[in-house]
Amino acid sequence: MKVFLMYKDRDFNLDSPLCELSENTAYDLELDTIFKAMSEEDEFFYKVSKKAVLESLVDVDTILYRQDILKDCIKNEDIVKKLYEIAVESIEFEKKAYFWFFNKYPESVLHSSVRLMEMFTETLNNLKNLAVENKDKFSSEGFKRFFEMVETELSDEYFALIKKHLKNLEFRGGILISAELGSGNRGKNYILRELKEENRSLVERIFSKRKDSYLITIHERDEAGAKALGELRNRGINSVANAVFKSAKHILNFFEILKTEVAFYLAAINLYKKLQSLNEQICFPVPLKKETRRLVFEGLYDVCLALTLNKKVVDNSLDTKDKSISLFIITGANHGGKSTFLRSVGLAKLMMQCGMFVAASSFSSNINSSIFTHYKRKEDVEMESGKFDEEMRRMSLIVDKLKKDSLILFNESFASTNEIEGSEVSKQIVSALMEYNTEMFFVTHMYKFAGDFYERGLNNVMFLRAERKDDGSRTYKIEEGKPLKTSHGKDIYLKVFK
Amino acid sequence: MIFQSILFKEEEGFNPNQQEPEFFEDLNLNLIVDEITKTKEAYDLKPFFYYSLKNIENITYRQKILKDIEQKDVFGALKEFESAMNYIRGGLQKTEKLSCKYQKERWFLDSVDLYCASVVKLHSSLSESSLNSEGLLSFKAYLESYIASDKFKEMLEHTKVLRQGLDEVKYTLFIKENKIRVENYKNEKDYGKTILEVFERFRQFDVEDFKAEFHNLEYANHIEIEILKCVAQLNRALFDDLERYCSTYENFMDTHIKKFDREVQFYLSYLEYIKPLEDLQLRFCYPQTVQSKDDIQNQEGFDMALGYKLAKEDRAVVSNDFYLKGKERIIIVTGPNQGGKTTFARAFGQIHFLASLGLKVPGSKAKLLLFDNIFTHFEKEESIQTLIGKLENDLVRIKDILQKATDRSIIIMNEIFSSTSLHDALFLAQQVLNEIIKIDSLCVFVTFLDALTELSDKIVSMTSTVRDDDVSLRTYKIKRRQADGIAYAISIAKKHGLTYECLVDRLKRD
């Protein structure tokens, strides 16, 4: 019984390590804001959201698979919540039972495991009923498969079989253990065996004299003997206690995975509702193969900014048409919305690639094999020389992990040395990465770098600029436009010092 | 040749109760040998490490054996044999206390079984490896004839039959209330498997076992013994055979093999000791040992006791060269304190001594004197004697050394007379050196008296320099100076592999 609500053919693994650079990405794009909105203070939701968003999918099929499931969830929110509660309730049982597993003494492991199994039987029954009652309300491939599976696997006959075995495990008729001779001729490989019917009869008959059979009776005052017998019993039960324990664990793991995978969709619904309340648009994006270069969107806005300001924010539109752009160089006024724009692109890509909706009225783009960020770090207090070294070090780590068709978002990178040197280094890096099919967005003040690229007139480079009206005020809109020689720092200076 | 010993080709004056040589402490050789033999006390290896070989043939005999043992497969085979023999000895010792004869007999059987298997395994491993040393080749030949002997073959076969019989014994215990019924196993089904099958459909991934670990108490309890007796009744013929077997093979271990097991530890323990040093790229080599003093040398040598300590702390070890050509006999070491002078002197002595054991020594290339004795005199700071009393004692001791030393001895003097007045010290040192020159010993003389180096053309001078503690930092600084202003950013980019050329190269991966 596999959950498979995140992938068609495998489980979503909450604990596998992320790429070590994903913490940088999360930091640079301020993903914490989104994770918080998704989790609504629930630590588990936070963890699931973070993992799912940062572990980008790299195939279009799975993205669409999740989109469909998410659409089902938005439509049937209450039923999905019930499903989640069944999983949570089952896991709680184990937590309570956990106190019984404080030692590995087989008798107590067996007892606790059987108790746990009895409780699981109930929640499994609830799960089955939920499936039978609601399966028709779901249309996604993922949920249809899930509900069908639950209905078939958890038949009435199966529940009866479970009941029979749980009763057998009380061992009313005594136990039969097999053993072999180990080192020093002491018994080893104690294994509990199934009792034949004849053994279930009266004690007197069982122990009546017969051929090739020897009898040991422990005297009632032989305390050491009774203790030794108890230990022998435990050795015998050990293997079967382990089997019941493992079986209970299997069921528990099923519920754990169910809980994790459903949590992602419930977290997405949280964000969805939050954005709706701000009157913001959302849409399900159209993902394209990673080898293509295409970006077209309308009304794209920065989710983090909207969530932080708690209101509707400025949006942008763009269409690369048939140009196959692989480098976007973004220049223009300080505080003109460059960083916000860069973040909105990064967030849209990440949200699309985890199967969620996107913060725009329409969005379509190629997916990327991975998404990196290289941002100027403001908090660096080292000497200038150390700062540039640190920037280089971070860049080198990205190159280590880089695969073809990755996305890198640069925000005022390599500017911690003078402009001539910074431009030269930027040019070399960007040129080499373009040859490696890397998609890049580069926000920069370095006119030498941006201008030189503009002069080269490459047809896979697009120049975007933060707009400024003639009166010097800002629209915070980003439009196509060539780099201009002056930055607008003077404006801000004047504004501050007037 | 009949195999005798893996340590001596020719009889020498080796005494099994060999005592620690006097110079051991000054040269820190005691630290080295203590560490080498630390976990091997049962083998009583120290006497071997105290005894300098007098005979070049024996040195060569050992060097060749050590070279063979250095081969990974040979080393592995000998270690495996060592641990098997240890296990056997331990097991036999423990079982002496057992009261149940069925248990004792089984332990004995398993010990013989392991012994036979280990001997056969050792022989086949040695046959598969390319041995060049006379010592190991003749030991291998000995093993071959031993294994081929009827006595061994019979023992092996009997062991096998019994083992198989006992391994096949399978019985059941039916337990209810205070009764146990013991019977032969009749293919009853494993109930744990049945349970796992029933719940298999829920399996998401494998989960770890949650089984109690039953630690067998040292000895079986009386119920276990009762059960064992019943099992023996169920398998009477088998257990009768086991009893006969035990009396037949009471003394199963061959005396030559026993002796080899001990002596080969000399090589194994040394190789284990130097491994961490070799792992740090420190060099070791097989020295040429010579009678003549015209050309004595060692390259990239180091103080092994210090090296071992530093290696453990993950710190760098500095190596040094020395050589004495033609008339040169005496190295006078001067220079700033804490500069490694004493370490150098110790290394000189250690390297010579280790060569005399027939071992490989610190260094990449070595030609060393086959000495008749080593004499050391190290100034001890913590002496509580009065200065005059101390000087007198020192001189008595030095006189003793000068009387015993020959033209094939090595003398190492460290900071003697350092608590005397400069004028006196110079005078005394000159006298001592003149004596040593006359005797024509090899000598390392560590001193603060610069003037001594001019005394004779038999003397060479070496000086220590104060080194920065962190060598890598210093190298780094030099590099930093080379980078000039304009190319600075590009050179940093280059350092990180981020120039255009570097990147194109790095990204040639798919």
DSSP for A180-247, please give it: EE-GGG-EEEEEEEPPPGGGGS-HHHHTS--TTEEEEE--TT-HHHHHHHHHHHHHHHHHHHHHHHHH
> Which chain B residue lies closest to A214 (C-alpha atoms)?
B182
Q: Are B375 and B416 in contact (CB under 8 A)?
A: no
Domain ranges of chain B: 1-186+219-271, 280-463, 479-506
Yes or no, beta carbons of B95 and A184 under 8 Å apart = yes
CA distance B194 to A490: 80
In A, which residues are within 8 Å of B497 by CB distance? 396, 399
- Asked whether residue A25 is assigned to any structural domain, the reply reads no
Q: Are B361 and B301 in contact (CB under 8 A)?
A: yes
CA distance B462 to B280: 26
**Domain B280-463 coded CATH 3.40.50.300:** yes
How many other β-carbons are positioned within 10 Å of the β-carbon of residue A245? 25
- Asked whether residue A45 is assigned to any structural domain, the reply reads no
Helix (H) or strand (E) holding B191: helix B191-199
Q: Using 50, 70 and 90 to split pLDDT, how confident is the model at B461?
A: confident
Quick one: pLDDT at residue B218? Answer: 65
How many other β-carbons are positioned within 10 Å of the β-carbon of residue A361? 16
In A, which residues are within 8 Å of B105 by CB distance? 185
Same domain, A239 and A352: no
Yes or no, beta carbons of B184 and A215 under 8 Å apart = no
Same domain, A231 and A305: no
Direct distance between the N- and C-terminal alpha carbons of chain A, in angstroms, rounded to an integer: 70
> Which chain B residue lies closest to A238 (C-alpha atoms)?
B211
- A226, A259, A277 - which closes a domain: A277
Same domain, A272 and A400: no
Q: Which residues contact B80 (CB under 8 A, 6 or more apart)?
A: B118, B121, B122, B125
Q: Which residues contact A278 (CB under 8 A, 6 or more apart)?
A: A306, A310, A311, A312
Yes or no, beta carbons of A225 and B222 under 8 Å apart = yes
Instruction: Give percent above pLDDT 70 in chain B.
Output: 90
Yes or no, beta carbons of A218 and B180 under 8 Å apart = yes
Same domain, A184 and A92: yes
Alpha helices in B249-364 (DSSP H): 255-263, 265-279, 304-312, 341-356
Mutate to test the interface with A, among B100, B202, B207, B492 (most CBs of A within 10 A): B202
How many other β-carbons are positioned within 10 Å of the β-carbon of residue B117? 14
Judged by DSSP in three states, B28 sits in coil
Same domain, A188 and A302: no
User: What is the average per-residue pLDDT within B419-448?
Assistant: 83
Same domain, A201 and A331: no
Mutate to test the interface with A, among B95, B173, B228 (most CBs of A within 10 A): B173
Q: Of A194, A220, A225, which is closest to B188 when you measure between CB atoms?
A: A194
- DSSP string over B421-484: -HHHHHHHHHHHHHHHHHHT-EEEEE-S-GGGGGS-TTEEEEE-----S-HHHHHHHHHHHHS-
Same domain, A245 and A359: no
In A, which residues are within 8 Å of B211 by CB distance? 104, 106, 238-239, 241-242
Side-by-side strand order, sheet with B170-176: A187-193, A175-181, B170-176, B179-184, A213-217
CA distance A467 to B96: 94
- Asked whether residue A26 is assigned to any structural domain, the reply reads no
In A, which residues are within 8 Å of B172 by CB distance? 176-179, 193
Distance (Å) from the C-alpha of residue A275 to the closest C-alpha of chain B? 36
Of A86-90, A317-321, B188-192, B460-464, minimum mean pLDDT range: B460-464
- A244, A277, A310 - which closes a domain: A277
Same domain, A151 and A85: yes
Convert the pLDDT of each residue in B476-507 to its tens digit.
221 222 223 334 677 778 888 999 999 999 99
User: What is the average per-residue pLDDT within B426-443?
Assistant: 90
Same domain, A251 and A314: no
Does A51 touch chain B if contact means CB atoms closer than 8 Å?
A: no
The answer to whether residue B384 scores a pLDDT higher than 50 is: no
- Asked whether residue A50 is assigned to any structural domain, the reply reads no
Quick one: pLDDT at residue A419? Answer: 72
Helix (H) or strand (E) holding B82: helix B72-95
Q: Which residues contact B257 (CB under 8 A, 6 or more apart)?
A: B119, B143, B146
Domain count, chain A: 2
CATH of the domain at A482: 3.40.50.300
Tokens (6 digits) for A354 = 């985890």
Ramachandran angles phi, psi of B364, nearest 5°:
-95, -20
Note which residues in 363-382 of chain A have CB less than 8 A from chain B. none
Q: What angle do CA B163, B166, B167 make, to 5 degrees?
A: 80
In A, which residues are within 8 Å of B212 by CB distance? 104-106, 109, 234, 238
Residue type, B438: K
- Asked whether residue A38 is assigned to any structural domain, the reply reads no
Side-by-side strand order, sheet with B320-325: B288-290, B365-369, B295-301, B320-325
In A, which residues are within 8 Å of B103 by CB distance? 184-186
Q: Which residues contact B138 (CB under 8 A, 6 or more apart)?
A: B1, B2, B3
CA distance B64 to B29: 23
In A, which residues are within 8 Å of B200 by CB distance? 250
Which pTM does this prediction carry? 0.63
Judged by DSSP in three states, A426 sits in helix
Q: Are B356 and B53 in contact (CB under 8 A)?
A: yes
Alpha carbon separation from B419 to A457, B344, B428, B452 (Å, rounded):
83, 22, 12, 17
- A252, A277, A302 - which closes a domain: A277
Does A178 touch chain B if contact means CB atoms closer than 8 Å?
A: yes
CA distance B245 to B243: 5
Tokens (6 digits) for B302 = 């180091």
Owning domain of residue A181: 1-18+55-277
Same domain, A272 and A317: no
Sign of CA dihedral A409, A412, A418, A423: positive
Total residue length of chain A: 498
Same domain, A295 and A273: no
Same domain, A325 and A190: no
- Asked whether residue A28 is assigned to any structural domain, the reply reads no
The one-digit pLDDT tens for each residue of chain A (498 residues) are 999 999 999 999 999 999 989 999 999 999 999 999 999 999 999 999 999 999 999 999 999 999 999 999 999 999 999 999 999 999 998 887 665 666 778 888 898 899 899 999 999 999 999 999 999 999 999 999 999 999 999 999 999 999 999 988 988 888 999 999 998 899 999 999 988 755 545 555 556 667 788 889 999 889 989 988 988 899 899 989 999 999 999 999 999 999 999 999 999 999 999 999 999 999 999 999 999 999 999 999 999 999 999 999 999 999 999 999 999 999 987 678 898 999 999 999 999 999 999 999 999 999 999 999 999 875 444 434 456 778 898 999 999 999 999 999 999 898 777 677 788 899 999 999 999 999 999 999 888 899 899 999 999 999 999 877 777 677 888 989 988 875 444 444 454 444
In B, which residues are within 8 Å of A254 by CB distance? 202, 204
Distance (Å) from the C-alpha of residue A186 to the closest C-alpha of chain B? 7
Distance (Å) from the C-alpha of residue B177 to the closest C-alpha of chain A? 8
CA distance A328 to A320: 10
Judged by DSSP in three states, A15 sits in coil
Does A386 touch chain B if contact means CB atoms closer than 8 Å?
A: no
Note which residues in 99-118 of chain A have CB less than 8 A from chain B. 101, 104-106, 109
The half-sphere exposure of A471 on its side-chain side, counting CA atoms within 13 A, is 3
- Asked whether residue A419 is assigned to any structural domain, the reply reads yes
